[in-house]
Amino acid sequence: MLTQKFGNFFFKIRSFTPIPFILALLYFAHPTWYTTSIGILFILIGELLRIWAVGYAGGTTRATTLGAARDLVTTGPYGYVRNPLYLGNFLLSFGICIVSNVLWLIPILIVGYFIQYLPIITVEEVYLLESCGTVYQIYQERVPRFIPRLHSYLNPSHHDFSWRRAFKSERRTLTAILCVFGLLYARGLV
């Protein structure tokens, strides 16, 4: 029951939890051309993964309550990993740590990531098991939570990819990335 309360709480505030992390990164930032080059690679991979995922799942991934999704998506990146958006978030945050050259924040990121996302994922999985039953149970058994597998799920859903849906959903994330870089640039750090 406690995990469910934490999961629901973190699910509702997940868009705001990066703010203290970003403020710390901006305060302690001292990027170099080398850290910027490496960090941008992680940011690009994370954001491309997010775009790929929301191109299939749509804007309901921004919901603050469970049950808003179109239905179970098992195609696209969801055929390789059950939580591509959360993996994308991690890669983005990791990349920002590298760009900012605040490497001591990486262990805090990892611990905070699991403290926040494990309860969220647990609540989502309970919901999906209740609403999708055996279909989700089979998917859950065959597709890993975090580490993508090399081959796609053999029973993909019939969802289509939409660039329009992807960019409409990702506007906020893209804006946040640009704002972080803008703030780093304004401070003369990039």
Q: CA-to-CA distance for 173 and 187, rounded, in angstroms? A: 21
Q: What predicted TM-score, i.e. pTM, was given to this entire model?
A: 0.86
Judged by phi (left if over 0) then psi (alpha if -120 to 50, else beta), residue 151 lies in beta
Could you list the residue range(s) of the whole structural domain that residue 172 is in?
2-186
The pLDDT of residue 10? 66
- Looking up tokens 């993909």 gives 156
Q: Considering only CA atoms, which of 163, 174, 152 is closest in space to residue 77? A: 152
The pLDDT of residue 34? 94
Q: How confident is the model at residue 22 (pLDDT cuts 50, 70, 90)?
A: confident
Into how many domains does the chain fold?
1
Q: CA-to-CA distance for 145 and 138, rounded, in angstroms? A: 13
Question: pLDDT digits over 30-89, tens only?
Answer: 988 999 999 999 999 999 999 999 999 987 655 444 554 558 999 999 999 999 999 999
Cβ neighbors of 110 (< 8 A, separation 6 or more) are none
Q: How many CB atoms lie within 10 A of CB 68?
A: 12
CATH number of the domain encompassing residue 49: 1.20.120
The torsion defined by the Cα of 75, 81, 85 and 87, in degrees rounded to 10, comes to -160
- Residue 65 has, within 13 A of its CA and on its CB side, a CA count of 2
